[in-house]
Amino acid sequence: MRDNDTSLLRAIRGPITLITVGLLFALNNFTEYRFHQTWPVLLIVFGLLSLVRRGIEPVPMPPPGYAPPPYNNQPPITAPGTFRQSTYNEPPPPAAPVKGGFGSTSGSQKPGEPDENSGGAV
């Protein structure tokens, strides 16, 4: 029975598409609806035909020797009281204090000396 349904669907797919396009052009010529407003109907018709085809065609069998992977429902093991789920290793802290950067001094300036950017004001 399914073979007959599949062949029937293949046989009517083209005519249904042509009828839909013809209806959309008739709407374009004889109503206020233009084709640029109604073309999404084609997407709906194609989608419905695809759904019907999937509902009629049998599900393909997996190849011989194929076994699905086992389902493991266990959460990853973490130390009690921690929420860490990433395996990312944090970089080590810097060995010496970092100097410089936005809004800081370079460390070469002595107290009381004018800054290069300050224009001589202390």
Tell me the C-alpha distance between 122 and 114, whole Å. 5
Q: Is 66 helix (H, G, I), strand (E, B) or coil?
A: coil
Average pLDDT of the chain, as a whole number: 77
Residue bearing tokens 């204090």: 97
Query: Which pLDDT value is given to residue 25?
Result: 94
pLDDT at 105 over 60: no
- Dist. CA 94–CA 106, nearest whole Å: 17
Judged by DSSP in three states, 42 sits in: helix
As a whole number, mean pLDDT of residues 106-119 equals 56
Rounded distance between C-alpha atoms, residue 83 and residue 70, angstroms? 26
CA dist 104 and 102 (Å) reads: 6
| Structural tokens at position 44 | 């709906």
The predicted pLDDT at position 8 comes to 84
CA geometry: angle 76, 78, 83, nearest 5 deg: 100
- From CA 55, how far away is CA 49, in angstroms rounded? 10
Residue 64 has pLDDT above 60, yes or no: yes
Question: Would you place residue 120 in the very low, low, confident or very high pLDDT band (cuts 50, 70, 90)?
Answer: low
CA distance 51 to 61: 20
pLDDT, tens digit (0-9, with 9 covering 90-100), for 35-50: 999 999 999 999 999 9
Query: Is the whole model's pTM more than 0.85, yes or no?
Result: no
Average pLDDT estimate for 46-69: 83
Q: What is the pLDDT of residue 61?
A: 80
